[in-house]
């Protein structure tokens, strides 16, 4: 009996020419850097230079994270990727009651421009591309970054990087939402407009399937629901009066890379092809860059195991290879100990070295799209494309991504797939080395990195000093101006920047918007 892929599609023991019978390589593939971009978004891909090696990091205080960033840069990282703690992601200050116990735990605490200044100290912002994994309050963190760059004398048009800014997937899979969907989409559109005028080289959104995959989505679901969210963002921007070619070239995507190498390569190729066709046929995009699905990849954290953690080095290597063979633009490799705790300096460095070995010691970068014409990969690409398009049709039948989210459709589909994976693992049908096969009687001890619990108290003290030192009247006036903009149709990023420059905190700015837009309360789909 044929095996099945992660998406539930059959994998045949042997593929031959009949798999591609009637298959037109010009239509299905094109050339690298040309429509439909199956073979990659750039003609030369890695033969000119490798992908951006962007290591995701952030923990504790801004000073501690800054030290980690500078160490990564010294060891060859070509792009920073900032992890924020949960209070920051949810728009709460470190001294809020809801923040207690979470300050600095899964990322760095950033409460104000003071923290952002420390976080970026000594980092040349006109030379480093920075990605910030932040969604509901993405506009705030981008503006804090811009304010610090201006202090460094770096003009905004020199800044390069990405904010994730993908709030729709938060309602589906991750949960770090703040506002209801409608005002959240308005804020996304305001970011698009602001960056086109003020920070033109910045990628305004990273439409993410990664977190859906971590919640249990199959590769077909990951592609379908991510691109459906992308459609919703494009429609929102067009409805707000923007021409598609004014903002689409700055859209980017974020996918997972699993250990199922062949299907992952096929997934990336299928996603590029579907997006290019959508942008050209549905939205009438004319700029070739509007058709390009450019994406960042992170290796699959959900596949890491706390048992025999060193085995994760092998998993991450295979996952990183799949991302490279699939044509990613940037890559983060997880550290082998991340199933236990935050990575140590040593494990983070090993994760970076994994990318460097692939880029410089293998021949993966010697040619573009090595799997082009492969019977199995081309067949899997077609099958994945068809499965994803069918799921996207089901989303459209419900009125689009937002309506489907409100109906609980994507969440329910992902949960069903996650349940299937769990059942297969528990039954031993799905082998996880060290967990349900090849186990050790006794695990070797491992000392993980631990965040100092005193960080929260120190962060609370910093906030108290900030509030005592700043001009409270100026902050109140700026927040009032922001509330007025939120009640109307003005782009809220301009008064938001003035408030943050006056040293308003992330929590205060988000509270001002909560007072106008409300807070999202999820509704169970079952």
Q: What is the pLDDT of residues 503-522, one digit of tens each?
A: 999 999 999 999 999 999 88
Residue 78 has what pLDDT?
Answer: 77
Give the Å distances, CA to CA, from 50 to 158, 171, 255, 355.
Answer: 22, 34, 18, 10
Tokens representing residue 430 in the block:
């799905």
Across 356-371, average pLDDT: 97
3-state DSSP call for residue 460? helix
Give the Å distances, CA to CA, from 95 to 138, 232, 240.
Answer: 20, 35, 37
Asked if 116 and 65 touch (Cβ cutoff 8 Å), the reply is no
Q: Which residue has the higher pLDDT, 23 or 472?
A: 472
Domains with residue ranges and CATH for the chain: 36-426 (3.20.20.240), 473-517 (no CATH)
Tokens representing residue 237 in the block:
């921007």
Q: How many CB atoms lie within 10 A of CB 49?
A: 11
* pLDDT at residue 526 is higher than 50: no
Give the Å distances, CA to CA, from 371 to 43, 220, 222, 327, 390.
Answer: 15, 20, 22, 11, 25
Q: How far apart are CA 263 and CA 6, in angstroms?
A: 8
Q: Kindly state the DSSP code that residue 84 receives in the 8-state scheme.
A: B
Residue 6 has what pLDDT?
Answer: 94
CB-based contacts of 356-364 (< 8 A; 24+ apart in sequence): 356/53, 356/76, 358/317, 358/320, 358/321, 358/324, 359/46, 359/50, 359/51, 359/53, 359/324, 360/50, 364/46, 364/321, 364/324, 364/325
HEC string of 259-324 equals CCHHHHHHHHHHHHHHHHHHHHHCCCCCCHHHHCCCEEEEECHHHCCCCCHHHHHHHHHHHHHHHH
* pLDDT at residue 525 is higher than 60: no
Q: Kindly state the DSSP code that residue 457 receives in the 8-state scheme.
A: H
Asked if 93 and 506 touch (Cβ cutoff 8 Å), the reply is yes
Render pLDDT for 460-508 as a digit per residue (tens, 0 to 9).
999 999 999 999 999 999 999 999 999 999 999 999 999 999 999 999 9
Structural element, H or E, at residue 202: strand 202-203
Asked if 288 and 323 touch (Cβ cutoff 8 Å), the reply is no
Q: Which residue has the higher pLDDT, 411 or 57?
A: 411
List all residues 6 or more positions away from 448 whose beta carbon is below 8 Å from its beta carbon.
337, 340, 341, 342, 344
Q: How far apart are CA 219 and CA 38, in angstroms?
A: 17
Length of the chain: 526
The closest of 50, 133, 134 to 328, measured between CA atoms, is 50
pTM score: 0.93
**Of the ranges 24-38, 78-92, 476-490, the best mean pLDDT one:** 476-490
Per-chain mean pLDDT for the chain: 95
pLDDT band at 56 (very low <50, low <70, confident <90, very high): confident
Give the Å distances, CA to CA, from 306 to 310, 320, 409, 442.
Answer: 9, 20, 32, 13
Residue corresponding to tokens 């199956």 = 38
pLDDT band at 443 (very low <50, low <70, confident <90, very high): confident
């Amino acid at each position: 009996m044929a095996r099945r892929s992660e998406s539930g599609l059959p994998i045949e023991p042997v593929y031959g020419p009949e798999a591609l019978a009637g298959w037109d390589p010009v239509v299905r593939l094109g050339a690298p850097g040309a429509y439909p971009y199956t073979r990659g978004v750039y003609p030369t891909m890695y033969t000119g230079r490798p992908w951006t090696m962007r290591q995701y990091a952030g923990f504790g205080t801004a000073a501690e994270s800054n030290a980690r960033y500078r160490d990564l840069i010294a060891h060859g990282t070509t792009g920073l990727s900032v992890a924020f703690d949960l209070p920051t992601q949810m728009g709460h200050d470190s001294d809020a009651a809801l923040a207690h116990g979470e300050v600095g735990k899964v990322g760095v605490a950033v409460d104000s421009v003071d923290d952002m200044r420390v976080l970026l100290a000594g980092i040349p912002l006109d030379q480093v591309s920075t990605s910030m994994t932040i969604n509901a309050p993405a506009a705030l963190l981008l503006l804090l970054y811009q304010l610090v760059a201006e202090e460094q004398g770096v003009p905004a048009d020199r800044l390069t990087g990405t904010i994730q800014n993908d709030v729709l997937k938060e309602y589906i899979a991750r949960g770090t939402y703040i506002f209801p969907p409608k005002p959240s989409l308005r804020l996304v559109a305001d970011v698009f407009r602001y960056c086109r005028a003020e920070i033109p080289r910045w990628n305004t959104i990273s439409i993410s399937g990664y977190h859906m995959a971590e919640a249990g989505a199959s590769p077909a679901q990951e592609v379908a629901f991510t691109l459906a969210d992308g459609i919703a963002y494009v429609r929102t921007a067009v409805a707000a009066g923007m021409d598609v070619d004014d903002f689409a070239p700055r859209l980017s995507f974020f996918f997972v890379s699993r250990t199922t190498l062949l299907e992952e390569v096929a997934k990336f190729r299928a996603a590029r092809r579907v997006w290019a066709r959508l942008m050209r046929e549905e939205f009438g995009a004319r700029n070739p860059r509007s058709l390009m699905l450019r994406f960042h990849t992170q290796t699959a954290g959900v596949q890491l195991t706390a048992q025999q953690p060193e085995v994760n080095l092998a998993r991450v290597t295979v996952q990183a290879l799949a991302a490279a063979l699939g044509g990613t633009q940037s890559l983060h490799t997880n550290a082998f100990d991340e199933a236990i705790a935050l990575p140590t300096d040593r494990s983070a460095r090993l994760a970076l070295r994994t990318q460097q070995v692939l880029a410089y010691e293998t021949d993966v970068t010697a040619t573009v799209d090595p799997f082009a014409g492969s019977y199995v990969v081309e067949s899997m690409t077609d099958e994945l494309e068809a499965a994803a398009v069918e799921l996207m049709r089901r989303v459209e039948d419900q009125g689009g991504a937002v309506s489907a989210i409100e109906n609980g459709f994507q969440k329910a589909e992902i949960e069903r797939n996650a349940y299937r994976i769990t059942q297969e693992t528990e039954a031993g049908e799905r082998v996880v080395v060290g967990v349900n096969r090849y186990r050790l009687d006794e695990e070797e001890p491992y000392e993980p990195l631990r965040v100092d619990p005193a960080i929260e108290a120190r962060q609370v003290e910093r906030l108290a000093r900030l509030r005592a030192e700043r001009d409270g009247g100026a902050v109140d006036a700026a927040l009032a101006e922001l509330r007025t903009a939120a009640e109307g149709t003005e782009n809220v990023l301009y008064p938001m920047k003035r408030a943050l420059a006056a040293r308003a905190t992330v929590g205060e700015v988000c509270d001002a918007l909560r007072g106008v837009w409300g807070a999202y309360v999820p509704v169970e789909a079952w």
